[in-house]
Amino acid sequence: MNTKENYDRIIEKEHIGHTTLALLTNQDALSTREVGIFTLDDLISIHRHVYFSLSLPWKKNDILKWFGITSSTTLPIDTDELINTIINIRDHANTWDNVEQHVKEQSVNLSLVSRNIIHTGGQIIEYINHMPILKRVSDSLNDINESELDEIFYQSDDQQIATELTNILQLIKDDIKEQSIKTSNIKKYHFRF
């Protein structure tokens, strides 16, 4: 099992975008779960269940005939209960298309959100790099003495950029939380299969 210590690593600047995307999409080598809402085994099992269930008869007489029994046959289970169970299995299998559609929609949403986050992350780095205080420090840090260093101040432009960056990061956080909730809801619904 992965622990927090596994994620304590230094990420080089040129790898931030790729690493962030890998973490967001659970494709990072240190991810704690497989990628996606469904595993391959989940999908195979579900499709087998749906295929078989939809091949079951849905009319009372056809169900009895399928089992090779009549309504007067003595069984350990009531005949009507058996018929209702078969009908419920078919009805359940018919709901798969709806689940599959929601999963596909969420996949598209996650793809769009992750692209937006990466793009916005690039813009954030640009904004930070263009903060007046960073320009003053990076332009002259090697050639500056200690007394001149005291003259470099965090100005209102720096504060404005920092405030906007905080707002942008909050929007990203909100987007991630919203997608997480949507994905969790789909996962909860799919456990019925």
- 56's CB contacts (< 8 A; 6+ apart) are 63, 66, 86, 89, 90
Q: Is residue 32 part of a domain?
A: no
Task: Find the domain containing 63 and state its range.
Answer: 38-94
* Domain end marker among 94, 125, 141: 94
User: Are 48 and 81 in a shared domain?
Assistant: yes
Q: Is residue 77 part of a domain?
A: yes
User: Are 146 and 56 in a shared domain?
Assistant: no
* Domain end marker among 59, 94, 129: 94
Of the CA atoms within 13 Å of residue 62, those in its CB half-sphere come to 7
Higher pLDDT, 115 or 15: 115
- Report how many domains make up the chain: 2
Higher pLDDT, 147 or 169: 169
User: Are 90 and 127 in a shared domain?
Assistant: no
User: Are 60 and 136 in a shared domain?
Assistant: no
Angle at 100 between CA 26 and CA 102, to 5 degrees: 75
Give the residue-averaged pLDDT of 35-53.
81
pLDDT tens per residue across span 50-62: 999 999 999 999 9
